[in-house]
Amino acid sequence: MYWTLELASHLEDAPWPANKEELIDYAIRSGAPLEIIENLQELEDDSEIFESIEDIWIDYPTQEDFFFNEDEY
């Protein structure tokens, strides 16, 4: 299983919180790339509820991960 920012962006509007089956259903209905569906199928626990993409992709970069000094611009 691998994630990229481009792949994760397809799940931004997913119906959070959601379980594995709901996320797969959303990915199929929204026309997400096959890689996303494959990644979601690899999730281990069918009954676990995921609150956001951070629960699926532990290393999901957040705004804090990017250094940007707004005062410079």
| Alpha-carbon gap, residue 67 to 49, rounded angstroms | 31
Q: What is the pTM of this model?
A: 0.79
The answer as to whether 35 is a domain residue is yes
Cβ-contact 69, 62 below 8 angstroms: no
| Alpha-carbon gap, residue 49 to 24, rounded angstroms | 13
The answer as to whether 72 is a domain residue is no
Domain total for the chain? 1
| Alpha-carbon gap, residue 34 to 63, rounded angstroms | 27
The answer as to whether 19 is a domain residue is yes
State which residues form the domain around 37. 5-56
Q: What does the pLDDT read at residue 65?
A: 44
The answer as to whether 50 is a domain residue is yes
The answer as to whether 65 is a domain residue is no
The answer as to whether 30 is a domain residue is yes
**38-50 pLDDT, tens per residue?**
999 999 887 899 9
| Alpha-carbon gap, residue 27 to 23, rounded angstroms | 6
- Summary mean pLDDT of the chain: 85
Cβ-contact 42, 56 below 8 angstroms: no
